[in-house]
């Protein structure tokens, strides 16, 4: 995936719009395993005529309908109103240099911008390889068990395996959504089914804030990287001007 700086900067406006348009509550009390192998979260569900309706908040205003055969199972998520990761503060033995190298390797393998991967890690776990969400997502890139299994990750708490699996999954989503970062991030958070249902970023508070947070961090990192890259050029210009005098 190749993204121009101009395209990256345009995402700032999307990030602001995403935050401002976040109006729905972020409460999810059930994990839904779909027949296609993906999973998603909802507040509650009900049989409505021939379909199973998944409600995304406490109210009935936001929902997705599925045929019964499209859903494999439901799991209750304890205390799901709190969706932020629960951080295990034990020593992870992972230095910033180690994480940087892992992200660089994964980015090169999947042609992903390392700063994008770093931004996802920042939003998902804040760089803690022992992070566990109340929904059961684990590790640096918060892989759900099903996603980890699909990507061949045996232990999501091993940083290199987690980054490898999360990067592969994000790469698949970017291919699916034709390198649209916002849609890929929305699918990473809420699942592809929700993105496909709404043909865009789902109107879920958690997902919209998540997309905005990652894009904001990504743009911050890109700007800092470009500024750092220009410093040698500026220094060289000053030296040449001084020599000319």
pLDDT tens-digit profile of 119-175?
A: 999 999 999 999 998 888 999 999 999 999 999 999 999 999 999 999 999 999 999
List, for residues 43-97, the tens digit of each pLDDT value.
788 899 999 988 876 667 677 888 999 898 888 765 533 444 444 444 455 788 9
Catalytic residues: 124
Instruction: Please state, in angstroms and rounded to a whole number, the distance separating the CA atoms of residues 102 and 110.
Output: 12
Name the pLDDT band for 237 (thresholds 50, 70, 90).
low
**Structure token digits, residue 89:** 């503060």
Instruction: Please state, in angstroms and rounded to a whole number, the distance separating the CA atoms of residues 38 and 28.
Output: 16
Contacts of residues 61-66 at CB distance under 8 Å and 24 or more positions apart, as own/partner, are 62/24, 62/203, 62/204, 64/193, 64/194, 64/197, 66/34, 66/193
Please indicate, yes or no, whether the overall pTM of this predicted structure exceeds 0.75.
no
Give all domains of the chain, ordered by start, each with its CATH number. Answer: 5-24+82-227 (1.10.530.10)
193: how many CB neighbours lie within 10 A of its CB? 20
């Amino acid at each position: 995936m190749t993204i121009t700086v101009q395209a990256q900067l345009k995402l700032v406006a999307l990030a602001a719009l995403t935050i401002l348009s976040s109006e729905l509550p972020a409460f999810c009390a059930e994990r839904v395993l779909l027949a296609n192998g993906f999973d998603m979260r909802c507040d509650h569900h009900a049989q409505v005529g021939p379909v199973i309706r998944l409600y995304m908040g406490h109210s009935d205003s936001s929902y997705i309908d599925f045929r019964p055969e499209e859903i494999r199972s439901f799991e209750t998520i304890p205390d799901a109103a709190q969706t932020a990761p629960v951080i295990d503060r034990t020593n992870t033995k992972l230095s910033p240099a180690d994480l940087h190298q892992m992200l660089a390797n994964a980015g090169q393998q999947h042609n992903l911008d390392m700063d994008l991967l770093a931004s996802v890690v920042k939003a998902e776990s804040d760089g803690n390889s022992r992070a566990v969400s109340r929904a059961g997502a684990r590790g640096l890139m918060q892989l759900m068990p099903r996603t980890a299994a699909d990507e061949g990750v045996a232990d999501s708490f091993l940083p290199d395996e987690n980054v490898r699996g999360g990067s592969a999954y994000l790469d698949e989503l970017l291919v699916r959504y034709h390198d649209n970062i916002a849609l890929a991030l929305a699918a990473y958070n809420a699942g592809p089914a929700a993105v496909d249902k709404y043909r865009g970023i789902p109107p879920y508070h958690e997902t919209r804030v998540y997309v905005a947070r990652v894009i904001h961090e990504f743009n911050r990192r890109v700007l800092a990287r470009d500024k750092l890259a220009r410093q040698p050029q500026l220094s060289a210009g000053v030296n040449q001007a001084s020599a000319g005098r």
